[in-house]
Amino acid sequence: MTALQHPTRPSRRAAAGRLTAALCAAAALAALPAARAADAAAGYPDKPVRFVLPYPAGGPTDILGRILAQKLSERWGQPVVVVNRGGGGGTIGAAYAAGAPADGYTLFLGGISTLAINPFIQKSISYDPVKDFRPVSIATRQPEILVVAPSFQAQTLKDFIAYARANPGKVNFATSGIATSGHLGGELFNQFMNVKLVHIPYIGAGGALNAVMSGEVQSAFATVLGTVPLIKSGRLRALAITGQTRSPALPDVPTFAEQGFGDYDATAFNGVLVPAGTPEAIVRKINADLVAVLADPEVVQKLSADGTLVRSSSPDEFAALIKAEQAKWEQVIRQGNIRID
């Protein structure tokens, strides 16, 4: 042994080897969560999945939700159980879904009201649309239609506007509830057309449309889903539809743009979300399967027949849409000083 060597001092090569081993072990430990998440996604779902709809049965959200639930159930080989939690303009159902475990076994069908309107129209809600949910994919865009009772005297959109201006506060519009897309669509109409329609909220779209058909209320701002059959049967009369082109489901109904009001746009949307914190591998799995379902010709045919525009997206694209819609409707709400006490 020379004077420069020491029996207890490790060689540089040995130390480097131990350092490399330690780094490899750390990397392996760091990779464990991702591996476990991938394993969980590979076996997902292995039990029933809840699909929370924030409105009562029978309305447009319920129609869409049940179509998606059936197709996802067929694809997954597991029941996708629809849970209707209506009330509070969608806030009750949204809060219920937001509080569910972030494991992928609770889906939420959100829309323009629950995601883009409620945060600005209510003093306090028990969920945050951005922080409490992870968007999965948009599902539909739904043009809104201004419909009137068959007996109402206005025959065109311009007739309706002229009548409303001549009778401020005497023309009502029904919606499926406070802070819904119909409510804000009507408020945007008031601001844009310089009229004073009075909002009459009902519990669910069915109640609102029944009120118009009976003549109890003169008009409604409603999404196309669930409304098209009533228009075709003559139980409702449509004056205008949002969007730049006519709906193939209602080729005889002119757009707002055709009638000189192209800047008026109250197109609604729906999409699927999961509670924040759901593993990204499971989010991607749900997204891939949902995109496939939305491309299913049977689904497209069912929804398109009622005028709905079937869409799909990445999670981040859906998140961007939510933020853009929030910016739009926050301005309308502030200008109209709309609040729910």
Give the domain ranges of the chain.
Answer: 49-141+268-336, 144-241
pLDDT at 305: 84
pLDDT at 210: 95
Using 70 as the pLDDT threshold, list the residues of the chain that sit under it.
Answer: 1-17, 19, 21-40, 341
**Could you check whether 49-141+268-336 and 144-241 share the same CATH topology?**
yes
Paired residues of 221 in beta bridges: 146
pLDDT at 336: 79
pLDDT at 176: 83
Give the number of other Cβ atoms within 10 Å of residue 139's Cβ.
Answer: 29
Q: Taking the C-alpha atoms of 133, 76, 270 and 275 in order, what is their torsion angle to the nearest 10 degrees?
A: -10
pLDDT, tens digit (0-9, with 9 covering 90-100), for 55-112: 889 888 899 999 999 999 999 999 999 999 998 878 999 999 999 999 999 999 999 9
pLDDT at 5: 47
Yes or no: say if 322 and 109 are a contact pair by the CB < 8 Å rule.
no
CATH 2.60.40.3710 fits 144-241, yes or no: no
pTM of the model: 0.77
pLDDT at 15: 63
Domain 49-141+268-336 classification at class level: alpha beta
